[in-house]
Structure 1
Amino acid sequence: MSERPTPDLEIVETRVYRGPNVWSYDKSIHLVVDLGSLEQFPTNTIPGFTDDLVAMLPGLREHSCSRGRRGGFLERLNEGTWLGHVAEHVALALQQLVGHDIRRGKTRQVKGQPGRYNIIYGYIEENVGLTAGRLAVRLVNHLVEGDPDFDWETERDDFIRRAERTAFGPSTQAIVDEAVSRDIPWIRLNQYSLVQLGQGVHAKRIRATMTSETSSIAVDIASDKDLTTKLLGAAGLPVPKQESVRSEDAAVAAARRIGYPVVLKPLDGNHGRGVCLDLQDEADVRAAFPIAHDQSRRGNVIVESFITGKDYRCLIIDGRMVAIAERVPASVTGDGTSTVQELVDLTNADPRRGVGHEKVLTRIKVDEAAVEVLADQGHTLDSVPAEGEMVKLALTGNMSTGGISIDRTFEAHPENVEIAEEAARMVGLDIAGIDFICPDITEPVREAGGAICEVNAAPGFRMHTHPTIGEPQFIAKPVVDMLFPPGATSRIPIVAVTGTNGKTTTSRMISHIFKGMGRKVGMTSTDGVVIDERLLIRADASGPRSARMVLQNPRVDFAVFEVARGGILREGLGYERNDVAVVLNVQPDHLGLRGIDTVEQLADVKAVIVEAVPRDGHAVLNADDPLVREMRRKCSGQVVWFSMDEPGSEVRDMIDAHCRRGGKAIVLNPSDRGEMMVVLHGRREMQLAWTHLLPSTFSGRARMNVQNALAAAAAAFAAGAPLHDIRQGLRTFSTNYYLSPGRLNEVEVNGVNVIVDYCHNAPGMKMLGDFVDRVGESLESSHDLARPSRIGIIATAGDRRDQDMRELGQIAAQHFDVCIVREDVALRGRERGATAQLVLDGVRAAMDEGARCKQAELVLEEIEAVRHAMSRANRGDLVVVCVDKHAEVMAELENWSDVAQAGSTTNPDAPSADPDYTPPADQAAGGA
């Protein structure tokens, strides 16, 4: 053990999970840290560490940690805990410092790597969470050994300012919080305040207090104060006299016609900027004109009569008044001893005050305008006001200039409420801020005097949600009521499909069933993103980003997501929960990547979608797979089993017991007429379809698609599809290239039977080999003279383990007469030819042990491999192509067929139809 600790804590890997993941049910940040020498120094061995840490972050006293009580983490610090664990709690405490109520976290040692730890903690805003983690590590190192370049107060304040810059404003946050309380999903669409509430066809958008229901014409009207006043006046509503001018002289002339005192304000300004009040004469008007003109985007200035009274903001949402606030201009109250500047500084020290809209109150800004307001009252910044004297520093009562608000919601006279609601209807705004100036809101404006001086689009909420005096009004509720009326749906059904093999085909089957029901289905798969049968993006889209893309599409009313292992490990799920989770199988594939070394660990990754099933959802699980069967313990909703086992087996006995308790399942019942898919629900049995009549099963020979059809039917049944629609969907789904590209596509090329499939791992090759054997037997029985050959073009991805590659070759050799080994375009970290050589080694090893295969060849390029296979195939032979780029392979097969039919070609680049065609010498290898 070292004599003294050194600041060795460092982050070696960072991941951001944007949905449920292997560590947490909610979005999280994952840091892998290395303690270095600090592995030998728990907190109780570092003098002064705990006291200094708690002094810097007092909030740590509230952390319960594993003790489950206040102060539990403090006990752990005093007893001695490792510094990775400390960094987790510091990251949480830093986020709590800026108002993010995050308490979820865990720290676990990386297996087999002493000194390395996984730190997982929740976050609300991604950048804030990441910055908190980095600052936590720096702080821990600083406490181990002081860093002269690390100033805690400066670092803390910089962190707070950064968090405030990325945070939602009070209005947006209030609406988002209300949506969350109603279980309405939301997505932040940019770094500002543009937010989507709901999913797919149900989605609504907000930006601050403007919504997708806000009329752009109404916003334009509200921005034109002259037009607004004319419309309101034409409706008989009380408005001040006003004129629009563009020059100083015109402003003076308008003021004479209206009569002093007057107000000057920009035609299209906001937040009270450029508003000059109580102008008594021509000199005041000339002095005020450039101030108002500078804030007008179009150069127009409004001159209107000055209405005396108090400033009230009436908030109208969906045509109804929901809150009224009296706005008091920025001011200080004298104490007889302090100067105005000292009083301002004292007022700005209020923790509720910040810069701009970052907090519920804005700091009072002392600028030239404030100095002029003081001068009009006979004061300067160095004046000492008498005790109790109120000194104004602004003329308008806007919160953005440092004003305060007093809630008057339940004091307004009904006639004034009616006037405000009528004003909002006249302008056409769904959310409007109506500014009244009148002596008292409790008396009718038409009798006591006063007028509507302005109608505001996108009015701020904070004066109502956080009034300085009075009760807060929960005005986000009527906004969300307007966007999502009671009983309205905000979510679209989500079906997630995972497993080692069969994910894409099953996803397509489910999509096809619901497409036949008239649904607008958004589907993601390894082939791309498909919206209502249109391929929008051609790429591997089985990750969380593609899922979010579907949920943002306004046409989608049903989502089917293929969920791959890599996306879960990289970012988690792209959504918070799925209504139906389908797990097909868990086989040894992708092992040795991202810390997943065993098939049990792989099962834990795939079980994430099961954990994301809500109480009213379903998990569709393969009862024939022991690892999938165990996932039932992780499901909060109902389990729907599917099984290919025959009646009387242990699995079927388990399913029968499940159904007797009211459960659901889909099974196969064999008979002398074939296999019948049967839906079990409680004690009821409902026949669904004969497997041999489903096109995708090749008369029942494609057992992998029999299993996929069972899973798809179970998922559709769980999602509420009627049996006749499920039956029709399965009967009309085939593996032709247009419905299922690259998945068991069958074509005939000049009498040669060609199967194109995406098989790329050993478990998949077992299922494909079984299919090849069944098809091969039928081909052999139809040929009397010679046994047709089976030619396989096989490959795997370069990121598999060496033994997995050899195993794929060994399995393929059991089912093909000729194995042609090719290689993917993406080598995934290996040298060109290395992956194919390992597969070839597996084939040859099986051949040495007497496997069916009699010849093995190496043709690295995919298209050359296809040409080589087709050149040596005879009529009646079976060629199976395990593809990488299926579109290119299908085009080549079509081209090959066209060339053969033509008998000759004038295109020198076209593939040869010569049966003696051989691949280039540098790509071919002789058979064993």
Structure 2
Amino acid sequence: MTAAKHIEILRVNYLRGPNIWTYRSVIEAWVDIGVLEDYPSNTLPGFYERLTTWLPGLIEHKCSPGVRGGFLQRLQQGTWAAHILEHVCIELQNLAGSQAGFGKARSTSQRGVYKVAFRCRQEDLGRQTLEAGRLLLEAAINDTAYDLNASVAKLHDLVDSLCLGPSTSSIVNAATDRGIPHIRLTDGNLVQLGYGHAQRRIWTAETDQTSAIAEEIASDKDMTKSLLKACGVPVPEGTLVRSPDAAWEAAQDIGLPVALKPLDGNHGRGVSLDLSNEEAIRTAYHVAKEQSGGSVIVEKFIPGNEHRLLVVGKQVVAAARGESAWIVGDGIQTVTQLVDAQINTDPRRGEAEELPLSPIIPSQSPEVQLELQRVGLTPDSIPAKDQRVLIQRNGNVAWDVTDDVHPSVARVAAMAARVVGLDIAGIDMVLEDVSKPLEAQRGAVIEVNASPGLLFHLKPAHGKARPVGEAIAQHLFADDASGRIPVVGITGTRNTGRLARLTAWLVHISGKHVGLACSEGLFLDGRQVSAKDSTQWEASQRVLINRQVQAAVFENPSRMILADGLAYDRCAVGVITDVSHTPELNHFDILDAEQAYKVVRTQVDVVLPDGCAVLNAADPQVVEMAELCDGEVIFYALDENHPVLVEHRKAQGRVVFVRSGTIVLAAGEQETELVALAHLKPAKAAQPELVMAASAAAWALHIPVQLIGAGLRTFESSPKKTPY
């Protein structure tokens, strides 16, 4: 009997920012494939068939051939378990509802040990996916059982509980498409779009412009109606009641039929419509009371269909119509069984957050039970054959009607949002026909909702999906706004902590509030907040989430890039002092300067197209990075006749050098003397390369030369002595 072949996971790391693999977050796992190093995929009998039967979606993986089915070609030709694990983990995430596409596998210096990296949006999900992928792969190799459905279901639950919800994701994705960075601030849906003082914050469909007062008004339906009515917005006549007797009395005064709803409910819970008799009204009162800590509203029932209009800013950007849910009896099945068979089997219904319609469970819904009671049924009753039974009048808003909305209807919806004071609102209206003028029908606003759901606009049951995420991103950021502040990243081994402090000081004296995270501590505007080494992800995040910060400077040692990735997605300036191998990199299997180059280049890879890389011309490996930069390049070197500087100046590039003891900035043939080293304090004068690099970074940020010179002269090495 052949011994089972196993894969051992040696180490798992979550790289949260740009890294040696890609610009986005990835799981990086070190795996030992053991004897499988001698068994590529084409030598394992039946493996290909078992794996592709479990994961038919692998045909979509292009892999290195770059075509559909490319990965399957690699399987048939023969590839190793670590590479296969990468693709299995990607596909498992796709099946679980978290789309992924990137992955790589690379051998290490130890035979049979590989680094496997794959895209993942959340660390715990990535770790669980890795373990599930390992078990599936081993089962396919060893021809043993594997419960794929259970595994995917578990991962799907993790996606639902740990990843951003679809509404929040739509806004984040729209911002990302515009180049606006984001930071997830909690395990929930609180997200920061942009950095520092340029940031905005969202919490699903709430923003940092959403008024707390407006939310309180919207949660009080009676107050909302009063304000809307006072401003000329049509609303149904109604009153507050505190007992079933009062509800019946109010219904008679208003005129039957009526609707009852909780004062402070939401999402249609506790709402009963078209009530025409005392028993139904008394029952509806108790249904509404269960959803409200206070009073119940009795209001005139308006015939028509429920509509939800999404207002963002000052305009309607999407609209959806609701429809009632019915069943048809067969004389055999109960109401509950018919609902499951005729309504809940709709693939658009389910508990998953990405589905537009929720399942209906009669035994758990007082609203449904009230509807059944009105026709003499219960959830356990068996309707007669062909009997049509109304199950739910509202709560099925999922039919897109955005293109049909009449301007007068849109105008009233937008006015309702403004009256309440919400920047984003879901306006519920009852309308006979959304395409007709409001004055030509008995239409009315029945509710104004803060933090409205976006899903039935993003994934309607019928009709076109609407780009509501883009609308909200546009509402938060003007066309020319990127949500970015100037970010300077510094990588190397040559006194980069002091270089970062000097650079931050030069930016600060230009008039900006500057955050700095480096090996010498955490600083805000020259004030040392912490004296601890702050070249970690958490310290850098503290800078980027600070609303006061107008510019940020980061020291990024290679070990940080390897352990966490960069804390920011892109930067305005990337400074590279050198490429050097240090002993601490051996832990990451980076064993020489050539491998260290691949780490350091990450800093240049993230320079924005309108940004600049500041490179040490005296280091040949650093010079090689110039061609990797999407933006401009400024070279610096002590010798003005260094060949790299000479050639760069011929191409009208910018350079920094020392001539006769003076720092000189040159752009093509134009030269500007910055400051004499003799005029600087001894510590800086003895480190001209540090001064040149900091000056070049400040120059790249368009800081006036005079201010750069002044900053060089006034900077103090001791944080306590740094002037404010």
- TM-score over 0.5 for the pair: yes
TM-aligned CA deviation for residue 54 of structure 1: 0.9
The one-letter amino acid of 1:145's match is N
Equivalent residues of 2:681, 2:713 under 8 A apart: yes
The one-letter amino acid of 1:655's match is L
The one-letter amino acid of 1:80's match is G
Q: Does 1:661 align with 2:651?
A: yes
The one-letter amino acid of 1:77's match is L
Equivalent residues of 2:59, 2:69 under 8 A apart: yes
Equivalent residues of 1:5, 1:41 under 8 A apart: no
2:697 corresponding residue in structure 1: 715
Q: 1:536 to 1:392 in 2, by over 3 A?
A: farther
Could you say what secondary structure the match of 1:192 adopts? coil
Q: 1:264 to 1:316 in 2, by over 3 A?
A: same
Equivalent residues of 2:96, 2:153 under 8 A apart: no
Q: 1:690 to 1:487 in 2, by over 3 A?
A: same
The one-letter amino acid of 1:226's match is D
Q: 1:47 to 1:691 in 2, by over 3 A?
A: same
Q: Which residues of 2 match residues 620-659 of structure 1 at below 5 A? A: 620-645=614-639, 647-648=640-641, 652-659=642-649
Q: 1:100 aligns with which of 98, 101, 105?
A: 98
Cα distance in 2 for residues equivalent to 1:282 and 1:391:
21
1:529 corresponding residue in structure 2: 522
Cα distance in 2 for residues equivalent to 1:696 and 1:304:
82
Cα distance in 1 for residues equivalent to 2:347 and 2:233:
41
The one-letter amino acid of 1:723's match is V
Cα distance in 2 for residues equivalent to 1:247 and 1:395:
24
Could you say what secondary structure the match of 1:361 adopts? coil
1:279 corresponding residue in structure 2: 275
TM-aligned CA deviation for residue 338 of structure 1: 8.4
Query: Bigger CA drift: 457-466 or 359-368?
Result: 359-368
Equivalent residues of 2:357, 2:398 under 8 A apart: no
1:127 corresponding residue in structure 2: 124
Q: 1:336 to 1:469 in 2, by over 3 A?
A: farther
The one-letter amino acid of 1:525's match is C
TM-aligned CA deviation for residue 554 of structure 1: 0.5
Q: 1:64 aligns with which of 58, 62, 65?
A: 62
Cα distance in 2 for residues equivalent to 1:477 and 1:68:
31
Q: 1:514 to 1:54 in 2, by over 3 A?
A: same
Q: 1:385 to 1:207 in 2, by over 3 A?
A: farther
Equivalent residues of 1:695, 1:735 under 8 A apart: no
TM-aligned CA deviation for residue 346 of structure 1: 5.1
1:289 corresponding residue in structure 2: 285
Q: 1:734 to 1:318 in 2, by over 3 A?
A: same
The one-letter amino acid of 1:614's match is L
2:588 corresponding residue in structure 1: 594
Q: Which residues of 2 match residues 327-726 of structure 1 at below 5 A? A: 327-332=322-327, 341-342=337-338, 344-345=340-341, 347-355=343-351, 357-367=353-363, 368-369=365-366, 370-374=368-372, 376-377=374-375, 383=382, 391-396=389-394, 398=395, 403-591=396-584, 592-645=586-639, 647-648=640-641, 652-670=642-660, 675-695=661-681, 697=683, 700=685, 702=686, 705-726=687-708
Q: Deviations over 1:789-810 (max 9, x none)?
A: xxxxxxxxxxxxxxxxxxxxxx
Percent of paired sites with the same residue: 38
Equivalent residues of 2:97, 2:159 under 8 A apart: no
Query: Bigger CA drift: 347-356 or 282-291?
Result: 347-356
TM-aligned CA deviation for residue 332 of structure 1: 4.7
TM-aligned CA deviation for residue 567 of structure 1: 1.1
Q: Deviations over 1:88-137 (max 9, x none)?
A: 100011112134332211111111x1111111111233332222111100
Q: CA RMSD in A?
A: 2.4
Equivalent residues of 2:616, 2:623 under 8 A apart: yes
Cα distance in 2 for residues equivalent to 1:121 and 1:683:
48
The runs of 5 or more residues in structure 1 that have no matched partner are 742-928
Equivalent residues of 1:330, 1:404 under 8 A apart: no
Cα distance in 2 for residues equivalent to 1:195 and 1:677:
44
Q: Deviations over 1:883-916 (max 9, x none)?
A: xxxxxxxxxxxxxxxxxxxxxxxxxxxxxxxxxx
Q: Compare relative contact order (CA 8 Å, sep 6+) and give the higher one, 1 or 2.
A: 2
Equivalent residues of 1:5, 1:38 under 8 A apart: no
Q: 1:391 to 1:344 in 2, by over 3 A?
A: farther
Q: 1:446 to 1:82 in 2, by over 3 A?
A: same
The one-letter amino acid of 2:651's match is R
Q: Deviations over 1:524-574 (max 9, x none)?
A: 011322122333333211122222221111011101001122211111111
TM-score normalised over the length of structure 2 = 0.94
TM-aligned CA deviation for residue 378 of structure 1: 6.4
Q: Does 1:46 align with 2:44?
A: yes
TM-aligned CA deviation for residue 477 of structure 1: 2.4
Cα distance in 2 for residues equivalent to 1:564 and 1:127:
26
Q: 1:236 aligns with which of 232, 237, 246?
A: 232
TM-aligned CA deviation for residue 410 of structure 1: 2.8
Greater Rg, structure 1 or structure 2? 1
The one-letter amino acid of 1:128's match is L
Q: 1:324 aligns with which of 311, 319, 326?
A: 319
Equivalent residues of 1:579, 1:618 under 8 A apart: yes
TM-aligned CA deviation for residue 622 of structure 1: 1.1
Q: Deviations over 1:70-92 (max 9, x none)?
A: 11111221222211111110001
Cα distance in 2 for residues equivalent to 1:193 and 1:737:
38
Cα distance in 2 for residues equivalent to 1:681 and 1:332:
78
2:2 corresponding residue in structure 1: 4
Equivalent residues of 2:280, 2:374 under 8 A apart: no
Equivalent residues of 2:280, 2:370 under 8 A apart: no
Equivalent residues of 2:572, 2:607 under 8 A apart: yes
The one-letter amino acid of 1:557's match is Q
* Alignment length (residue pairs): 718
Q: 1:390 to 1:85 in 2, by over 3 A?
A: farther
The one-letter amino acid of 1:73's match is F
TM-aligned CA deviation for residue 587 of structure 1: 4.1
Q: 1:307 aligns with which of 302, 305, 321?
A: 302
TM-aligned CA deviation for residue 725 of structure 1: 1.4
Equivalent residues of 2:10, 2:31 under 8 A apart: yes
Cα distance in 1 for residues equivalent to 2:490 and 2:720:
21
TM-score normalised over the length of structure 1 = 0.74
TM-aligned CA deviation for residue 694 of structure 1: 1.4
The one-letter amino acid of 2:308's match is R
TM-aligned CA deviation for residue 343 of structure 1: 5.9
Equivalent residues of 2:505, 2:526 under 8 A apart: no
Equivalent residues of 1:5, 1:37 under 8 A apart: no
1:18 corresponding residue in structure 2: 16
TM-aligned CA deviation for residue 610 of structure 1: 1.4
Equivalent residues of 2:328, 2:338 under 8 A apart: no
Equivalent residues of 2:98, 2:159 under 8 A apart: no
Q: Deviations over 1:676-719 (max 9, x none)?
A: 11111122111111111012546x3x2xx221110000011112
TM-aligned CA deviation for residue 265 of structure 1: 1.2
Q: 1:305 to 1:47 in 2, by over 3 A?
A: same
Q: Does 1:209 align with 2:205?
A: yes
Q: 1:463 to 1:336 in 2, by over 3 A?
A: farther
The one-letter amino acid of 1:159's match is L
Q: 1:587 to 1:92 in 2, by over 3 A?
A: closer
Cα distance in 2 for residues equivalent to 1:258 and 1:535:
68
1:226 corresponding residue in structure 2: 222
Query: Bigger CA drift: 594-603 or 500-509?
Result: 594-603
The one-letter amino acid of 1:620's match is V
Q: 1:603 to 1:407 in 2, by over 3 A?
A: closer
Q: 1:285 to 1:554 in 2, by over 3 A?
A: same
Could you say what secondary structure the match of 2:306 adopts? strand
